[in-house]
């Protein structure tokens, strides 16, 4: 069994990015610049944004954090998005989700210039990804593809089961895994309504679990030799931790791991790759790799 | 076994559209207007476009056919697309594919104003469809959903196997069938590289075959009681026909049909629904149902 080390892989990729940025800057080029808008003080969001700022430093990027209280109007937030769209010093930016209920997330996402949409959530990027055109692929699916590639996990022609059909993970993951240029797999998407979920998992060569139910994937659902990617990051109360919680994946790691060919831990698997792929998208934005 | 009659269903839907158009026009509204650009003289394209013009008549739409010889430059074609984008009398338009090799189909598709893109091929429509937002859904997948709905084929929680991963049928079909608001199925996409294709089919409650290989799906691949949708329309030489060919589906109809709960014939199944859904998209465009 190979433990897929997302933390080490992410560190490696960030070092590669830093090297390229140093080269760009020493050749007189512009340092990539990522901006992030954070609304309110949600604990998870604070952590994510902080880690994104730290990742920017590690990659040699310029970063700008723009904070608003959660009583900001939709109009004011859209105006800020528009300002960043027009700010030529900013290569890419994100609006950290979730947003307060009085603001339409979809409206905000669609207001972002797709050429700066390094989260890959704008319909143009989603659509281009679906039909196999160059674009910003959203960070979590992109990070999973990168782990599969760097660990030489065989995917072509294999049966890949995806648990969950969210817009952020399950759906784009399915679209990528089925494409010849990415996974080239036989892809099955299971969800809460799937009658044959267990059987699908038992037949899978690769399982990507993204349903947010701690320990959902148990050993009896896994074929010996399967590769398991765990996207779950549910906060489970844990009084023994200083934070009061620990992150729990969708996989019963203790019992599933001995069966697998490859498995990602939680934390330290998919999580660190997500931010790292946001950095890669920002570098692509700075290099105008996909647009303009 | 229920034979799904796409021809009759399409006629019914066109009558429903005509009724709505008559109501709109008698209330002083504008008659929906579909324009089509046809480049060159490809036999298949000529037939499709002719049938689209006839369908417009049946629905009470205004239609405009714009023809170019196949030596038209990309620039000139893009200029015509732009003219139609700006022509307020035109609600929606299509550029019939394929285009001559010296013209980039993708460039032309992306030049179409997504608000008039009734084929649903523009990345914005593809992306909005993928994330479940209102948009033009491309005609073949939309037509299949409509057949499943009108014939009350159970889909929720069922295993749906899609054969083929084209941008026009396989991929969007998968995205729709997995969404709660459409198929709500457990979706598996198989293709040329799938090692377990036969097994997947044998376990499927619904099979949507779109690989363009005549008679590919044989009786031994089908579970008794399955619903079979045949999207294949390969022209097979047939000297006994006046045209010199007949259309062949991907399903070995003769031997598969007796096993099924539902099956679509070729021709007369999915085919007639495709043009009919283009009409429905054009009506939506005229009503500004999704945009503006």
Whether residues B167 and A196 touch (CB distance < 8 A) is answered with no
Whether residues A178 and B197 touch (CB distance < 8 A) is answered with no
A227-230 and A245-248: which strand pairing?
unpaired
Low-confidence ranges of chain A (pLDDT < 50): none
CATH number reported for the structural domain that contains residue B203 in this entry: 3.40.50.720
Q: How far is CA B72 from CA B69, B81, B119, B272, in A?
A: 6, 13, 22, 30
Write out the catalytic residue numbers of A.
Answer: 52, 96, 119
Q: What pLDDT is recorded for position A292?
A: 81
Count of CB atoms within 10 A of residue B108's CB?
20
Instruction: Quote the longest CA-to-CA distance of chain A.
Output: 58
**Nearest Cβ partner of A189 from B156, B157, B178?**
B178
CB B100 within 8 A of CB B40: yes
Count residue pairs from A and B with Cβ separation < 8 A.
126
Whether residues B165 and A179 touch (CB distance < 8 A) is answered with yes
**Among the three residues A71, A97, A113, which one is the final residue of a domain in this structure?**
A113
Q: Is A158 on the interface with B (CB under 8 A)?
A: yes
- Say if A279 falls within a structural domain: no
- Does B202 share its domain with B86? no
Q: From CA A37, how far away is CA B43, in angstroms rounded?
A: 54
- Does A40 share its domain with A151? no
- Say if A260 falls within a structural domain: yes
- pLDDT tens for A177-224 read 999 999 999 999 999 999 999 999 999 999 999 999 999 999 999 999
CATH number reported for the structural domain that contains residue B69 in this entry: 3.40.50.10860
- Say if A191 falls within a structural domain: yes
What are the CB-based long-range contacts (under 8 Å, 24+) for A105-108? A106/B133, A107/A74, A107/A78, A108/A74, A108/A77, A108/A78, A108/A81
- Does B143 share its domain with B266? yes
CB B65 within 8 A of CB B8: no
- Does A50 share its domain with A155? no
- Does A250 share its domain with A145? yes
- Does B210 share its domain with B167? yes
Tokens representing B229 are 């949708």
- Say if B13 falls within a structural domain: no
Q: What pLDDT is recorded for position B292?
A: 81
- pLDDT tens for A95-106 read 999 999 999 999
- Does A204 share its domain with A164? yes
- Domain extent, residue B57, equals 30-113
- Does B91 share its domain with B152? no
Q: From CA B174, how far away is CA A173, in angstroms rounded?
A: 13
Catalytic annotation, pick one of B5, B91, B96, B171: B96
Task: Tell me, yes or no, if B22 is annotated catalytic.
Answer: no
- In chain A, the number of structural domains is 2
- Does A259 share its domain with A196? yes
Q: Give the pLDDT means over successive 10-residue stretches in chain B (292 positions).
A: 98 98 97 98 92 97 98 98 98 97 97 98 98 97 98 98 97 98 98 96 98 97 98 94 93 98 97 96 98 88
- Does A86 share its domain with A151? no
Q: From CA B75, how far away is CA B72, in angstroms rounded?
A: 8
Whether residues B186 and A167 touch (CB distance < 8 A) is answered with no
- Does B103 share its domain with B148? no
The candidate with the shortest Cα–Cα distance to A272, out of A9, A50, A2, is: A9
How distant is the Cα of B157 from the closest Cα of chain A, in angstroms?
A: 4
Q: What are phi and psi of A80, to 5 degrees?
A: -70, -40
- Does B262 share its domain with B144? yes
């Amino acid at each position: 069994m190979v433990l897929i080390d997302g933390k080490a892989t992410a560190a490696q990729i960030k070092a590669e990015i830093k090297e390229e940025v140093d080269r760009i800057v020493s050749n007189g080029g512009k340092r990539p610049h990522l901006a992030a808008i954070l609304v309110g003080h949600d604990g998870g969001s604070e952590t994510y944004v902080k880690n994104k700022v730290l990742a920017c430093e590690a990659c040699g990027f310029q970063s700008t954090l723009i904070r608003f209280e959660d009583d900001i109007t939709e109009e004011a937030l859209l105006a800020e998005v528009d300002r960043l769209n027009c700010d030529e010093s900013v290569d890419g930016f994100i609006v950290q989700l979730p947003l307060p209920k009085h603001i339409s997330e979809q409206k905000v996402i669609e207001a972002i210039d797709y050429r700066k949409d390094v989260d890959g959530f704008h319909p143009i990027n989603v659509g281009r990804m679906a039909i196999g055109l160059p674009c910003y692929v959203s960070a979590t699916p992109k990070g999973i593809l990168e782990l599969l590639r760097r660990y030489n996990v065989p995917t072509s022609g294999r049966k890949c089961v995806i648990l969950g059909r969210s817009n952020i993970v399950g759906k784009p993951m399915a679209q990528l895994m089925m494409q010849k240029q990415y996974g080239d797999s036989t892809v099955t998407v299971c969800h809460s309504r799937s009658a044959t979920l267990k059987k699908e998992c038992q037949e899978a060569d690769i399982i990507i679990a993204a349903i947010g139910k701690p320990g959902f994937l148990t050993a009896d659902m896994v074929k010996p030799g399967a590769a398991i990617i765990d996207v779950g990051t549910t906060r489970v109360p844990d009084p023994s931790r200083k934070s009061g919680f620990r992150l729990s994946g969708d996989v019963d790691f203790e019992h599933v791991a001995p069966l697998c060919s490859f498995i990602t831990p939680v934390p330290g698997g998919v999580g660190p790759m997500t931010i790292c792929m946001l950095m890669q998208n920002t570098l692509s934005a700075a290099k105008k790799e996909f647009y303009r």
